[in-house]
Amino acid sequence: MDYFKINGPKTLEGSVAVSGAKNAALPLIALTILAKNPVTITNLPHVVDIKTLLKLLTNLGAAFELDGNRVTIDTRPVNHTMATYDIVKTMRASILVLGPLLARFGHCEVSLPGGCAIGQRPIDLHLKALEHMGAEITIHAGYVRAEAPDGLKGAHILFDKITVTGTANIVMAAALAKGKSTITNAAREPEVVQLCEILRDAGVAIEGIGSSELVIEGTGGKLVDIASFAVIPDRIEAGTYLCAAAISRSPLTLTNVRPDHLEAVLGKLEEMGVGIETTEDTITVLPVQTLKPVDITTMEYPAFPTDMQAQFLALCTQAEGTSTVEERLFENRFMHVSELQRLGADITLKGNTATVKGPSALFGADVMATDLRASSALVLAALVAEGETNIHRIYHLDRGYEALEEKFSLIGADIARLKE
């Protein structure tokens, strides 16, 4: 098993090219199930979750050619509709094949999903919506069995709670349904917006893109012609490097980035006193010697993202004063607190709120990654910790960050990937 050895403290400098967004690429790969043509996707990140979903598609009968950050996927030969446990258990996003498989074939079986252990993320909202569209759903032996022999029918879907993967799943299902579907309380994340834009460009009538209500006129079962496209930049990877620059008081420029997708994150960095300069596709961090404390509450986009909570928690350990971080989306997303405490962080956890007193002198130690974003928080803390930090179980990191150690090495970090 691999681990990272990081020696600190280190000052960073230079530029980082942000990779394509994993959370955008996953539903877009699933979307190819609805295509009547081979689809080419560029700016695809090299991360484990992408490889997992491509493997799942091949198990269904699809073919793909991967060349660097470019993939061409042909789902025309798909002849299986069962997404098996051995793949789905490693990645919750595998549930994204449920909507398109059911819409295209009228039946499918998808294993109940796995993924990061950050709390309950039930798929009941997905299933309830599909039932509204005429599907018959049963759960047996750990599998969701869905049938719609006469095809899915347009319906009014009201999500009781905002769900990103649920919105993506139902958008794809509605694209091939008969008639009009209205999705109320839809997720507004950039990843959902890109999915809708690509379907719209493929000829599916979609109104309300970027809003909380989507109206989709289905094709009645006809597959769509999807043109080549590039995955949007990863706003969470970008936010992680922004926090790396801020915590190490370093000048750093991000390229291939969308500042308009990061307004909540940039706002909190500026609130902490960090200097930020942006262009249409770059963000530059200007080093600041004193970080101010900040209060953060995670909520759905466009508010502060839960996927940046851990990184800001690490950053707050170096602020002058007391910060609070309230997690409203997942009930088990503070597992990194005990690991940051091992490095010397002064963090008190009560319910869903962490109180951070800073600045804390951090010292290298052996720590363990518990989920994808917690892993990156430990990397950030290790950058400013005195001495050697060994971060174990970095397979979590590999699920969502492309070439992390290479990128950090290029900007001055002392980081190495080693075998246990």
- Check pLDDT > 80 for residue 119: no
Average of per-residue pLDDT values in the chain = 94
Asked if the peptide bond before residue 45 counts as cis, ω within 30 degrees of 0, the response is: no
- Check pLDDT > 90 for residue 55: yes
Catalytic residue among 116, 196, 243, 316: 116
Nearest to 54, CA basis, from 44, 64, 46, 40: 64
The sign of the CA dihedral 133, 135, 136, 142 is negative
- Sole residue written with tokens 């956890």: 349
- Check pLDDT > 80 for residue 81: yes
> pLDDT at position 91, please?
83
Contacts 24+ apart (CB under 8 A), 60-66: 60/33, 60/97, 60/101, 62/32, 62/33
* Torsion, CA 420, CA 240, CA 161, CA 86, rounded to 10: -30
- Check pLDDT > 80 for residue 333: no
Q: Which residue has the higher pLDDT, 115 or 61?
A: 61
Nearest to 396, CA basis, from 114, 167, 30: 114
> pLDDT at position 330, please?
65
**116 part of the active site:** yes
Half-sphere CA count of 257, side-chain side, radius 13 A: 25
Mean pLDDT of 45-63: 96
Query: Do 174 and 183 contact (CB within 8 A), yes or no?
Result: yes
Pick the range with the lowest mean pLDDT from 72-76, 148-152, 373-377.
373-377
Q: How far is CA 272 from CA 76, 83, 216, 330, in A?
A: 51, 45, 42, 25
pTM: 0.95
Half-sphere CA count of 133, side-chain side, radius 13 A: 38
- The β-bridge partners of 183 are 157, 214
Mean pLDDT of 349-372: 94
Pick the range with the lowest mean pLDDT from 178-187, 219-228, 353-362, 368-377.
368-377
Q: Name the band, by pLDDT with cuts 50, 70 and 90, for residue 331.
A: low
> pLDDT at position 116, please?
38
Give the tens place of pLDDT for each residue, 270-312: 999 999 999 999 999 998 999 999 999 999 999 999 999 999 9
Structure tokens at 26: 């996953």
Mean pLDDT of 42-67: 96
Nearest to 98, CA basis, from 72, 129, 132: 129
The kind and range of the H/E element at 78 are: none
Structure tokens at 156: 């009014």
